[in-house]
Amino acid sequence: MKTLLIIMTFGMEGSVGFGEGCAWPQAMTRCECAELAFDEVARRIRDGASLEEVQERTGCGRLCSACLPELRDHLARRR
């Protein structure tokens, strides 16, 4: 299992950031556990597979499931 540590800073004026010179993190674009890009999941669904079938065949979203909310958002934006 992979661990992600995020250290946030809170400025005097109420702003929130990730330290000096750091930008907000990019949205997740792939399942790291299955090493599968969300665009590949979307392609397989366009080709006729269900999300459940893609998950069963690849393991995407099944090992730690941390990517599922962003994967579902990614797929919803492409409908």
The answer to whether residue 48 is domain-embedded is yes
Q: What is the pLDDT of residue 79?
A: 77
Question: Quick check: 47 pLDDT over 80?
Answer: yes
The answer to whether residue 13 is domain-embedded is no
What CATH number has the domain bearing residue 42? 1.10.10.1100
The answer to whether residue 40 is domain-embedded is yes
For the chain, what is the domain count?
1
Q: pLDDT tens for residues 50-69? A: 999 999 999 999 999 999 99
The answer to whether residue 72 is domain-embedded is yes
In terms of residue numbers, what domain contains 59?
A: 27-77
Q: pLDDT tens for residues 23-46? A: 656 789 999 999 999 999 999 999
DSSP string, the chain: --------EE-TTS-EESSTTPPPPPPP-EETTTTEEHHHHHHHHHTT--HHHHHHHH-TTTSS-TTHHHHHHHHHHT-
Q: What is the pLDDT of residue 17?
A: 53
The answer to whether residue 18 is domain-embedded is no
